[in-house]
Each structure stands twice: as structure tokens, then as C-alpha cells.
């Protein structure tokens, strides 16, 4: 009989606790009656090998009482019995292990515990001296909340790290990493153990990778325990209250509840949480958060040691720069300051949810909350609230914009230095030129460098000011220096030498002291005029196949172009029932060389124009970038094929060289945003009746896009700036550059994040599939702005952002709706309409996962009906936006009139919420029935998150 391969022990998947061993009396009785007297069990050194995880195959080694060379060893096969104790049949083999000895077979039976070593079975949360953690072994905190073991982050990395993560969350989220800067490659050859001097050490192939690095020797009886707080504590087994070392004193990127983060005034040790390098590399990143090393009671954010934001001083209740803390609804802080140390700890008031504070790779400190229904993390607070205020977030020649996701993009003529890092949200490498400047290599035939004008930007940091008079002299001064990369001229001349940092694209109409026009130096071949000539040599006619209808449209464009080359026309030529193809030179004439600017967005600028028949139009000139091309295609393939009274009319377009232009009907009253947020006289303020009609008209337009087109169209960027107003203040949904088409056979679609911050639905952030309800959420945000006349997120004088909808929702719950009305209206509004609008706005925001009506008759407003009281929503798709009936009270639902239910009634209807049918968005869904047996669905929301 040859040795079986099953004798090779394998590591267990986890160190779990075992049932208690039988009494010594029972063991002695069994051994004396069943075993030969000249054999007895050997007490082996702890962890001489790794035991198999299969409960049916365990091995133990025996030896004779008279140990001598060539003696017999017994190998026992253990069979599983009852509570984890088993029957063992012993075999013996020669000491030299070369063959089995059949004569040594002994009918020897013992009762023995499956796990060797009594210490190993005491607790699953503890590592004892002599034990080690290796391979896929883990230890789990007593309550099963946290787990310690080896892991590899993300999908790309092949490195392994020793870390602590949440045990019960399917998305592995590490809260502490031991060897973040020293990864290992082979977990089988690595182990975590307690060394002879009492330190926790991590080794790979017997080479030390990481250590707790205690300077003084500790007791050999030290043990390591993983607590339910996520803290790994090294302590003396005889004194569990005194920690010799703990992971909470050495944080990585996460600040946990009840964890100190501060300064030891005796040793000077400064605790920081520091971001990962990127989304899949946990090594030390660029951004850190920590208390002021000078000892003041405030926290700073640093980028490589350079401060870029502070919480402001602690006044005993809140930090000065975080006024939302005053609500106290989410976190509470404890401050300790004495001669020895200065630190803060915090706790989350809602202990039923899992929350943490993490230093993110974007340079923002984020308070994250685990959403069980979506199985993902959702941020509830960002510090600072403006990501573009993070120092050098986008790296060299990168530009930051709050209107795009991701925030960072490369300037014209530049591309990411590392596409891989860029896609992992590590923008620190910045951008590099596509074409080097010719300054250092000038010859007779070399074209000189030129400048690209970039308007509405916050200028880069560290300019050099020159005393020159005119803009031409400023440009000439920059061209004379081969190190000059950009200049700006207003009252003075500013030039920049070397890389440009901290550029910020400003929203239309916004400005600050550092805003202006920047002239970026580019190689001649990268300037738009030169690229246009290059593109002309190989004209791109096919715009792209977006859908079947878009393909047909492109064929028509090609035919028109061919016909136009044979039969020159004046301003334009129109295909009956289709769009007009405009010539670029005629649009230049119509707009008076693009002289009257109406507005600007992320991808282009809009100008006023007049056609040859005196018809006023709006001409959007898209930027010469890949994003501009995508927006052009999206606009033509969506708004180009639909017609509705509440959708902006697309008259035609122009495609010549690199130029992409769209021609729309002119809206004399501009955008809803310009009307709502203007600072003009009271006579120009929109009255309530007009606002309510704008809200209804916008809803009709969205309902048409979602339910009545051949393909469902998700707009993806609903906001006041994209709602235009005609001469009668009738709303027109506009700007379809981010729109997404989905077939009627699909209810949702996965797509890249798009839209504007402040209006993005939660599913954009969590990465869930997108449905038309993403537009519903944005509509709700905009509706609150229509009601209040204020932005949903307003920047205060100290730079912080107050999130208006959280406060508004609480007022709706308390039925204090007049407090939400624009104060400039002086209370002049129809209260029933105001109440309906307020409730619909909150429902749109809170119920972003309501299923669409299958019969196609549901509307954007009909899909969010419900009762705000008690945060309970009754979902019946019966209300229409044309309904005018009163809301509330005890009236039954009749012809679309909404009824407000009491919580006690809903408990009866749902049999005390006993039959759960699902969970989406922010709460659980239950089945129920009205008194007339009408089946209903009741959604109970988890509530609001206000403050931090």
C-alpha cells in the first residue's frame, strides 16, 4: 500500500471555533479500553502543518513509548461523528517513510477533537503564539462583522495584501491594510504570525514584509484579536484591557467610528488617513486628512504635503466650514484635548446601517453609507463639496469641470499621460502634448506655434506678470520664450512657464477673481484652423450608425451633399419632412460671424442668427473634440426624429470639415435657468401660474420621450438650463447631447455616467442600470428649483455647498409648503397646485426606482404618486398630470385624485407589512389591498440623510 496523495494537508478556508472536547475521564476510559498500552498521542508543536478543511479526513501522528531509530509512527484517519468528535483507525509505517508496514496495523480507536492544539480552537477572532495565518485562511471578529486575511484589490492587480474588510458585505471593502506599500505575490508562501519578541509580523518565503514594529520586547503570551469595531489589537493574553499595538493607531485610508484620529503631543506622532494611489492600487496615494500638526482643533486636507482645504475650527458643536453639521442628524463627534494628545472620535447616529469615512482618490473625504437594496456604497457627504477645489486634481494641462463626469479632462491638443491611470480615477499624471512645440526646432519651412483661446476658465496658479501694454505685446512676449505655455491679458499681462495646473472650467455666467480668458500655446498642426485643413483632405461623411433611423438619416445627408455639389443653392436646401442641411459659410453670415452669444455649455456655444427669410434661429457650434462629435450625433439621432410641442425644434445642421453645427428654433425668453435665477427687477420674475405651466409642460415633454416615441429616449441631463421658453413661456426640453435611446423591448440600459452634478440620480453614482426614472429624479430636483427660485445646491460665502432638497423634503413632510415658495412671489400662489408640486418633487427624488407602467399610459407624474406622511408611498399608476382635484384627507382615489393614507391604515392594508415583494431605491416594498380589495404596493422609505 503506497502513501496516498490525500496525506498532503491543505489549508482551511477559515479558523473557526470548535465544540468543547470530551472530559479527561471519558478520554482515559476510552483509551484504556480500546488502545494498546504502548501507544499514546503525542502533543505536537502548534501548527506543524496545515490541516485539511474536509471534516471527514483528518490525520494525527502517534509514536511508541520507546522512541528509537526505525521506530513506528502511526497515522490515523478520522471519521466524522456527532458533534465534531470522531472515531480514529490507526495505521503504522516505518520511520524512514519509505513504505507502509502491514504488520503494524492496529485496531486502535480514539475519540479525538478534529482541530489539533487546544489553543487553536478557543476563538475564531484570535491569533495565538505559534499559530499563523496563510493562504486563504481568515479570522473573523466575534460578531461576524469584520474579517482579516489576504485579498487582491480590483480586477487588474495581481498583488496580494493583508487587510481587514467587512465580512457581511458582498463588495469587498478594505478598511485597513498592513502592507499597502509592500504587496506580496504568493499567499501560500506568506504567513502572519506572532514572533518570538511579541511583534505581529508578515513574511513571504521567510522574509519579513511588514511588522507591528514594537520597539520593546513584549510577553511571549501576546495574542492578536480582531474586534467588531474593525480594530486589530495585539495584547497580553493575561491582560486583555491593555493594547500593546492596534491597527486603529495606524490607519490607512479609512476613519472608522470610535477610532481616534489626532496628534500625540508627547511623541509627535501624527495620525493621517491617506488615499489609495488609484481605484485598484492601495499603495500610499497623494491625498491625506489629519488634525492640524500645530495643535489647533481643526482638520486639514493635503496633497503631497500642500494644504488645500480645512474643516475650520471646532467650536464645541461643529467645524466652522461644515455648517450642515448643525443638524446633527448623521454624525456626532467627541473631542479630547489635553497635555498628552489632541484627537477626535465620531459615531454614526444610525447604528442600523454601515457607514465609514474614507479619503478618496479624488482628494475628497467622503462619508459613505452601505445601501442594502442596491448592494453598493453611496456617499452622503463630500469634503470639500467642490472637487475642483482639490489642489492639482487633474494634473498638468488638465481641466476640471463640475458639469462633466469624470471631472477631469485634457486641454485641447493634449491627451492623458497614462490612459490606464486616467480610467482608474488617478489623474495626477496629467496630460501631455499630442504634438511637441516647434520653438526649439525652427527652420525656414517650419510653421510657428500659435495660441488657442479658452474662455470662461479659472486661470492656472503661479502666473508671471509682465508690464506690457497690449494683448499683442503679451502674445509676442510669450512666443519669444520657448518655456512659455500660455498667456492671459486683461488689465495686465500674465504668462505661464512650464506645466499648467488647477484650471477650472466655469459654468456659464459664473465668475470669480481668478477667471478670465486663457490663450494656450499649441503646435501649428494642433490649432483648429490647421486641423480643419487636414480634415478637408479626407472628409468624414459618415456621422456614425446610432440606430436604424439614424442610419437612414445619414444616407439622406450623403445624398443631399452630392446633390448640393451639382446644384449650388443659396442658404440651405430642405428635404420635405426632414432636416435642413446648412452650409457653414451661410451660418457664419446668418450669425454675423458668431457675434451674438446666447450661452455656452460643456461641449459648445450657442449664437443668435437670422435666416434669409428673417426667421430667428439659435445656432449651436460644437467644440472640436471627441465629446463634441458624440453630442452632435446624439442630438441628430434623437431630437432630429421627434416632434412635440414641448420639445425644442431642430431645423437642421451643418457638417463641413471639423465644424459641427446645429440649428434650432429661437427661444426669445431664453432658458428656464436664466429666468429663475436672474437678479433683475420684480416685474421680470416668473409668477406662480407660469411656473406651474412650465412644470406641467416639461413633464409632458418627458412623458412623450419616455412613452410615445418609437424608441424610448432618456434625456440624461434635465436641468433649468436645458428647458427653453418661447415667446409665450411655453417650455421646450432642449440639449439632447447626452440622451440615450433604448428600444421598447428594453426597460433599462447600462451606460457611462453622464449629466450634471446636482441633478444626477443615485443609479448614476452606484453604477446601476439606467431607466427613464433617472430623468424623473432630475425633474424632481428641477421642480424644487422652479418652486423656490433657488439652486438645489448653493455655494455660501465660505465656499461650502448647502443641499436645499434635504431641507425642502423635511418641510414637505411637515406640510410647511409656503416656506418653500420663492420669497419674491410674496406668497402669491395656488396652494393646491403648490402642495401638489412640492409633493411630486419630493416623490421624484425619493422614489427613483418605481417601475414604469406596462400599458404605456403612465406618465412621469403618474409614476410617483403617494403619501409623504410617515415616509410611506402608495404606488398606483393612475394619476395624470392633467388632474386638478384636491390632495389629501380621507377621500378615496377617484379619477386621478390623490389620497393621503395614515400609517395605521397602511398597517391594516398590508397586514402590518407582512408580505414583502422587493426592495428598490431607498426602502422596502410590501403588498397590500385597499378596503375595496384593490391591490396596491406600499413602499416604506428608510428616511432622509441630512447633514453629515
**Sign of the CA dihedral with 624 first, then 625, 626, and 630 last:** negative
**Nearest alpha carbon to residue 637 among 616, 659, 662:** 662
Q: Is 676 helix (H, G, I), strand (E, B) or coil?
A: helix
Give the count of beta carbons closer than 10 Å to the beta carbon of residue 273.
Answer: 20
Q: Which of 35-53 are b and which e, b meaning 16 or more Cβ less than 10 Å from the residue's Cβ? A: beeebebeeeeebeebbbe
d(CA 180, CA 191) in angstroms, rounded, equals 16
**Nearest alpha carbon to residue 147 among 137, 155, 156:** 137
The set of residues, in sequence order, having a beta carbon less than 8 Å from that of 348 and lying 6+ positions away, is 257, 330, 331, 355
Q: What is the DSSP letter of 267?
A: T
d(CA 295, CA 740) in angstroms, rounded, equals 52
The set of residues, in sequence order, having a beta carbon less than 8 Å from that of 773 and lying 6+ positions away, is 761, 763, 848, 849, 850, 852, 863
d(CA 279, CA 275) in angstroms, rounded, equals 10
d(CA 865, CA 898) in angstroms, rounded, equals 7
Q: Is 381 helix (H, G, I), strand (E, B) or coil?
A: strand
**Nearest alpha carbon to residue 845 among 898, 785, 796, 794:** 785
Phi, psi of 252 (to 5 degrees): -105, -95
d(CA 461, CA 194) in angstroms, rounded, equals 51
Q: Angle formed by the axes of helices 773-788 and 688-707, to 10°?
A: 170
The binding site for ATP consists of: 620
Q: Which helix (H) or strand (E) holds 590?
A: helix 584-590
Query: Active-site residues: which are they?
Result: 717
Give the count of beta carbons closer than 10 Å to the beta carbon of residue 669.
Answer: 16
d(CA 325, CA 908) in angstroms, rounded, equals 38
Indicate the Cα dihedral angle 899, 905, 909, 915, nearest 10°.
Answer: 110
Give the count of beta carbons closer than 10 Å to the beta carbon of residue 368.
Answer: 19
**Sign of the CA dihedral with 88 first, then 90, 95, and 99 last:** negative
**Nearest alpha carbon to residue 179 among 164, 189, 157:** 164
Q: Which helix (H) or strand (E) holds 778?
A: helix 773-788
List the beta bridge partners of residue 712: 742
Q: Is 109 helix (H, G, I), strand (E, B) or coil?
A: coil
Residue 652 contacts residue 584 (beta carbons within 8 Å): no
The set of residues, in sequence order, having a beta carbon less than 8 Å from that of 480 and lying 6+ positions away, is none
SS (H, E, C) 876-910: CCCCCCCCCCCCCCCCCCCCCCCCCCCHHHHHHHC
d(CA 762, CA 784) in angstroms, rounded, equals 17
**Sign of the CA dihedral with 506 first, then 511, 516, and 517 last:** positive
Whether omega before 384 lies within 30 degrees of 0, making that bond cis, reads yes
Amino acid at each position: 500500500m503506497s502513501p496516498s496523495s490525500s496525506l498532503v494537508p491543505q489549508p482551511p478556508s477559515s479558523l473557526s471555533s470548535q465544540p468543547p472536547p470530551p472530559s479527561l475521564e471519558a478520554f482515559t476510559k476510552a483509551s484504556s479500553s480500546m488502545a494498546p498500552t504502548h501507544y499514546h498521542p503525542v502533543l505536537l508543536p502548534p501548527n506543524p502543518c496545515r490541516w485539511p478543511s474536509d471534516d471527514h479526513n483528518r490525520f494525527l501522528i502517534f509514536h511508541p513509548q520507546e522512541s528509537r531509530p526505525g521506530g513506528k509512527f502511526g497515522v490515523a484517519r478520522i471519521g466524522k461523528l456527532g458533534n465534531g468528535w470522531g472515531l480514529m483507525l490507526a495505521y503504522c509505517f516505518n520511520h524512514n517513510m519509505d513504505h507502509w508496514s502491514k504488520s503494524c496495523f492496529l485496531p486502535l480507536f480514539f475519540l479525538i477533537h478534529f482541530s489539533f492544539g487546544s489553543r487553536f480552537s478557543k476563538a475564531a477572532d484570535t491569533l495565538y503564539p505559534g499559530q499563523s495565518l496563510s493562504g486563504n485562511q481568515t479570522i473573523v471578529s466575534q460578531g461576524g462583522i469584520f474579517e482579516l486575511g489576504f485579498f487582491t484589490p480590483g480586477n487588474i492587480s495581481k498583488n496580494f495584501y493583508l487587510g481587514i474588510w467587512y465580512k457581511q458585505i458582498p463588495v469587498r471593502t478594505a478598511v485597513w491594510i498592513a502592507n499597502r506599500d509592500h504587496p506580496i505575490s504568493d499567499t501560500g508562501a506568506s504567513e502572519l504570525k506572532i514572533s518570538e519578541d511579541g511583534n505581529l509580523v508578515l513574511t513571504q518565503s521567510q522574509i519579513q514584509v511588514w511588522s507591528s514594529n514594537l520597539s520593546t520586547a513584549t510577553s511571549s503570551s501576546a495574542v492578536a484579536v480582531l474586534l467588531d469595531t474593525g480594530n486589530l489589537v495585539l495584547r497580553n493574553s493575561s491582560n486583555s484591557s491593555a493594547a500593546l499595538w492596534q491597527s486603529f493607531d495606524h490607519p490607512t485610508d479609512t476613519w472608522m467610528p470610535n477610532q481616534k484620529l489626532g496628534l500625540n503631543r508627547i511623541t509627535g506622532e501624527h495620525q493621517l488617513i491617506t488615499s489609495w494611489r488609484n481605484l485598484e492600487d492601495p499603495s500610499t496615494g497623494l491625498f491625506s486628512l489629519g488634525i492640524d500638526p500645530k495643535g489647533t482643533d481643526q482638520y486639514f486636507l493635503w496633497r503631497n504635503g500642500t494644504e488645500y482645504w480645512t474643516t475650520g475650527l471646532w467650536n464645541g458643536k461643529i467645524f466652522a466650514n461644515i455648517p450642515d453639521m448643525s443638524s446633527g442628524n448623521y454624525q456626532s463627534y467627541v473631542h479630547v484635548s489635553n497635555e498628552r494628545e489632541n484627537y477626535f472620535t465620531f459615531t454614526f447616529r444610525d447604528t442600523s446601517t454601515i457607514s465609514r469615512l474614507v479619503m478618496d482618490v479624488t482628494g475628497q473625504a467622503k462619508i459613505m453609507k452601505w445601501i442594502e437594496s442596491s448592494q453598493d456604497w453611496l456617499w452622503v457627504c463630500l469634503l470639500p463639496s467642490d472637487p475642483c477645489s482639490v489642489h492639482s486634481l487633474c494634473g498638468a494641462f488638465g481641466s476640471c469641470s463640475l458639469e462633466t463626469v469624470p471631472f477631469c479632462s485634457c486641454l485641447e491638443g493634449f491627451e492623458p499621460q497614462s490612459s490606464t491611470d486616467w480610467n482608474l480615477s488617478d489623474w495626477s499624471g496629467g496630460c501631455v502634448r499630442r504634438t511637441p512645440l516647434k520653438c526649439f526646432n525652427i527652420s525656414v519651412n517650419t510653421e510657428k506655434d500659435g495660441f488657442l483661446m479658452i474662455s470662461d476658465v479659472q486661470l492656472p496658479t503661479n502666473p508671471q506678470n509682465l508690464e506690457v501694454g497690449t494683448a499683442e505685446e503679451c502674445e509676442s512676449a510669450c512666443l519669444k520664450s520657448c518655456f512659455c505655455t500660455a498667456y492671459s491679458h486683461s488689465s495686465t499681462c500674465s504668462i505661464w512657464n512650464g506645466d499648467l495646473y488647477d484650471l477650472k472650467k466655469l459654468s456659464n455666467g459664473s465668475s470669480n477673481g481668478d477667471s478670465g480668458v486663457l490663450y494656450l500655446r499649441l503646435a501649428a498642426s494642433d490649432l483648429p484652423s490647421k486641423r480643419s485643413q487636414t480634415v478637408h483632405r479626407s472628409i468624414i461623411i459618415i456621422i456614425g450608425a446610432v440606430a436604424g433611423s439614424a442610419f437612414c438619416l445619414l444616407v439622406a445627408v450623403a445624398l443631399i451633399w452630392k446633390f448640393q455639389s451639382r446644384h449650388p443653392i443659396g442658404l440651405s436646401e430642405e428635404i420635405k419632412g426632414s432636416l435642413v442641411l446648412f452650409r457653414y459659410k451661410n451660418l457664419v453670415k446668418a450669425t454675423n460671424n458668431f457675434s451674438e452669444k446666447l450661452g455656452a455649455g460643456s461641449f459648445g456655444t450657442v449664437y443668435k442668427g437670422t435666416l434669409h427669410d428673417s426667421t430667428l434661429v439659435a445656432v449651436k457650434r460644437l467644440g472640436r473634440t471627441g465629446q463634441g462629435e458624440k453630442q452632435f450625433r446624439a442630438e441628430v439621432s434623437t431630437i432630429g426624429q421627434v416632434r412635440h410641442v414641448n420639445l425644442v425644434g431642430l431645423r437642421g445642421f451643418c457638417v463641413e470639415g471639423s465644424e459641427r453645427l446645429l440649428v434650432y428654433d429661437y427661444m426669445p425668453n431664453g432658458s428656464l435657468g436664466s429666468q429663475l435665477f436672474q437678479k433683475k427687477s420684480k416685474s421680470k420674475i416668473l409668477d406662480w401660474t407660469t411656473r406651474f405651466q412650465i412644470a406641467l409642460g416639461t413633464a409632458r415633454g418627458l412623458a412623450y420621450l419616455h412613452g410615445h416615441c418609437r424608441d424610448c429616449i432618456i434625456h440624461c441631463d434635465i436641468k433649468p438650463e436645458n428647458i427653453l421658453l418661447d415667446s409665450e413661456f411655453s417650455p421646450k426640453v432642449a440639449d439632447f447631447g447626452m440622451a440615450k435611446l433604448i428600444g421598447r423591448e428594453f426597460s433599462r440600459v447600462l451606460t457611462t455616467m453622464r449629466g450634471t452634478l446636482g441633478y444626477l440620480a443615485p443609479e448614476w453614482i452606484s453604477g446601476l442600470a439606467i431607466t427613464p426614472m433617472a430623468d424623473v429624479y432630475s425633474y424632481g430636483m428641477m421642480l424644487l428649483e422652479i418652486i423656490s427660485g433657488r439652486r438645489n445646491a448653493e455655494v455660501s460665502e465660505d465656499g461650502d455647498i448647502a443641499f436645499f432638497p434635504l431641507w425642502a423634503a423635511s418641510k414637505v413632510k411637515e406640510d410647511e409648503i409656503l416656506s418653500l415658495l420663492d420669497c419674491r412671489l410674496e406668497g402669491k400662489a395656488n396652494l393646491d397646485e403648490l402642495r401638489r408640486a412640492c409633493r411630486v418633487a419630493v416623490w421624484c427624488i425619493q422614489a427613483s426606482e418605481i417601475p414604469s407602467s406596462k400599458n404605456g399610459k403612465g406618465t412621469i407624474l403618474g409614476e410617483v404618486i403617494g403619501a409623504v406622511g410617515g415616509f410611506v408611498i402608495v404606488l398606483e399608476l393612475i394619476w395624470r398630470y392633467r388632474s386638478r382635484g384636491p390632495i389629501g384627507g380621507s377621500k378615496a382615489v377617484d379619477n386621478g385624485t390623490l389620497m393621503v393614507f395614515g400609517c395605521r391604515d397602511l398597517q391594516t392594508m398590508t397586514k402590518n407589512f407582512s408580505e414583502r415583494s422587493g426592495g428598490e431605491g431607498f426602502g422596502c416594498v410590501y403588498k397590500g389591498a385597499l378596503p375595496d380589495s384593490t391591490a396596491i404596493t406600499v413602499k416604506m422609505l428608510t428616511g432622509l440623510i441630512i447633514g453629515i
